[in-house]
Amino acid sequence: MTVRFIIIFISIILVLRTCLVFDFQVPKITERRIVLSVGVPLAADIPFHLSNLDSGLTSATAIEYIDPSTRIPNEILSKWKSQGKLILARTNTAHTDVAAKTYKYLSLPELIHQWSRFLSDIQVDGISVDEFSGAHVNIISRWAEALNFVKCNFPNKLIFSWVSNWYLNTILTRQPDPQMILLFETLRDYSDYVILEVYYRTSELSTYDGSEFFRFFHTVEYVSKLAPGIENKILVCIGANHKHYNDLPHVNYSQFLSFQVSYILNHERLRKLSGLAIYAPRYCTFEEVIQLDQTLIKFIDKHD
């Protein structure tokens, strides 16, 4: 009897492990392009209150709630849901201790436990996983197995996968290698959206008319060659962070952010992407958020 039970148990595990990508029930996505707000879609000086929601990034169609352990107030959640906004819980691939300067990748059981816990939450439409970058092949295989598991068990929830800015900047100057290809093929096969962090500082450009943001295209093109078919899942993330990326005080930072969106909006290839992510309204002034919002509204309403 014991032997029979063990055989049945092993058979069930093998079935779970062979859940294929094309077996997944694809979640229904809004026809509007994604504008993902990292954190609350309000400026730094605006209180997080129901009455202020129309004074922020109203163009956001998805919201990554930074602290998923804190429940979103019901009245705010109800308004966001009535507007068709996707609510995402932020999850991780590693334990990070900033003070101790340590970074340890989560084990397979830890990944599955954390991601499954938040995907089980009825408040959320999916998770955002922060973040994926260069790692040993064994680590990438672990990520693939964990992503495969949660896609099998939560087929109606979405997975947004982040790729770090520093890693993308590093690989753009290198020849493709098997490790890079494996990583982006994994993200292509098991994610609904892949978010590429492409952050500009004001000091990087000699002009601010929107003509020099070519790294957006170079990054998308490079990643698309590594994993053909990934492009229709890509969101480009713009670094909207007054403190970290506005290192030239004389520059009009509101315009600098809007020029980046306009560059993508008017680019023959980039304007066809699934959407954009904004990191992050809470690090911007009220004026910066409002001007950025006006430009983003044009982006989500534009169809080719």
Span 69-90, pLDDT tens digits: 678 899 999 999 999 999 999 9
Of 20-29, 32-41, 147-156, least confident by mean pLDDT is 20-29
User: Do residues 35 and 276 make contact, with C-beta atoms less than 8 angstroms apart?
Assistant: yes
The pLDDT value given to residue 205: 82
For the segment 239-250, the average pLDDT, to the nearest whole number, is: 90
Superfamily of domain 30-301: Glycosidases (3.20.20.80)
Of 51-60, 175-184, 207-216, 229-238, least confident by mean pLDDT is 207-216
The pLDDT value given to residue 202: 92
pTM, rounded to two decimals: 0.89
For the segment 192-218, the average pLDDT, to the nearest whole number, is: 88
In the chain, domain spans:
30-301
Confidence at 208, pLDDT banded by 50, 70, 90 = low
